[in-house]
Amino acid sequence: MTNDEANTLLHAYIDGELDPAKTLELEAHLAGNPSLRAACGRLREMSEAVRLKADYHAAPAWLEERVRAALPAEPKNGPARPAWWGWLNPAGSLAAYADWLRPAASFAAVALVTWVVALGVLRPGEDERITQEVLASHVRSTLANRFYDVASSDQHTVKPWLSARLAFSPPVADLSASGFQMIGGRLDYIGAQPVAVLVYKRRQHMIDVFVWPAEGQKAEQTQTRDGFNIERITNNGMTFWIVSDLNRDELDDLARMLAERSAAP
């Protein structure tokens, strides 16, 4: 790789947009080239300065309300009839269809009840499956010594890397001041969807934090399985599953900090 090429790639590199092969190549080049390393450092500083110091202009709340109010909706006197209404009721008389509708309605009611019951019964099953999947992912990564896809202690490298590959942007907190060193991130597939995994380290313990968007607020949940502690929290629309062989108290601290950090952007 020439210096010119390396210079060109620096921006993509600090933005976490370079593929692994080119990253390795560039890092090898950086190792042998102090001035390029310095340029890379200055570039990171520049990027950091903009992120930290440039004004973020949040919209005034009243403006959002005004826009919300301006979105066309139906008049207050009831929803417009959906398209199938005309087909179902061409003569405008519901009575002619009443006989036909009655069994259909009771069938629908039975189906609804079945669905609600099934939801209640299956819910714990889903949690159980996810528990197994996150635990398996954690153990697999430690067995294979493959902890991350992107290695970095910098949340500004890990977050964009993950965001670029997922349909959501996971909150990535720098907790090094509290003794949780971030070492990288990876992607995995949990509960039939691609998810972010943030990898932290405390002393010699590896901690995987699985993150994906959640619907609603679920109860916190802690358990111990096969010698691993597993915690689940949901906050601000995100679910976090934390898996580690770290002791429960310290893992609780981490869970609390993650919840705090994800609370306010």
Partner 1 sequence: MTLAADSALLHEADPVSLRNPDSAPPHETLNERKRRFEQMVLPHFDAAYNLARWLTRNDQDARDVAQEAVLRAYRFFEGLRGEAKPWLLTIVRNSCFTWLAANRPAETVGFEDGAIELLPSDDDGPEMQAARNFDRKMLNDAIAGLPAQFREVLILRELEDMSYKDIARIADVPIGTVMSRLARARRLLAESVRAASNISGTQVPK
- Which residues would be at the binding site for partner 1 (CB under 8 A)? 4-5, 7-9, 11-12, 15, 17-19, 21-22, 35, 38-39, 42-43, 45-51, 53-60, 63-64, 66-68, 70-74, 79-80, 82-84, 159-160, 163-167, 169, 187, 193-194
Nearer to partner 1 (CB atom), residue 179 or residue 237 = 237
DSSP classification of residue 207 = E
- In angstroms, give the least distance from the CB of 54 to partner 1: 6
Nearer to partner 1 (CB atom), residue 33 or residue 131 = 33
How far, in Å, CA of 15 to CA of 162, rounded? 11
- In angstroms, give the least distance from the CB of 158 to partner 1: 12
Q: Which amino acid is at 110?
A: V
Select from 33, 56, 37, 55 the least CA-distant residue to 45: 37
Q: Which residue has the tokens 């309300």?
A: 65
Q: What six digits make up the tokens of 143?
A: 């067995």
Nearer to partner 1 (CB atom), residue 45 or residue 126 = 45
Nearer to partner 1 (CB atom), residue 8 or residue 247 = 8
Torsion of CA 220, 225, 227, 231, to 10 degrees: -10
Nearer to partner 1 (CB atom), residue 212 or residue 228 = 212
Task: Compute CA distances 82 → 78, 85, 95, 103, 247, whole Å.
Answer: 12, 6, 19, 22, 56
- In angstroms, give the least distance from the CB of 17 to partner 1: 5
- In angstroms, give the least distance from the CB of 251 to partner 1: 28
Coil vs helix vs strand at 104: helix
Nearest 5°: CA angle at 105, between 103 and 111? 105
Radius of gyration of the chain (CA): 26
How far, in Å, CA of 195 to CA of 187, rounded? 6
- In angstroms, give the least distance from the CB of 37 to partner 1: 12
Nearer to partner 1 (CB atom), residue 60 or residue 103 = 60
- In angstroms, give the least distance from the CB of 16 to partner 1: 9
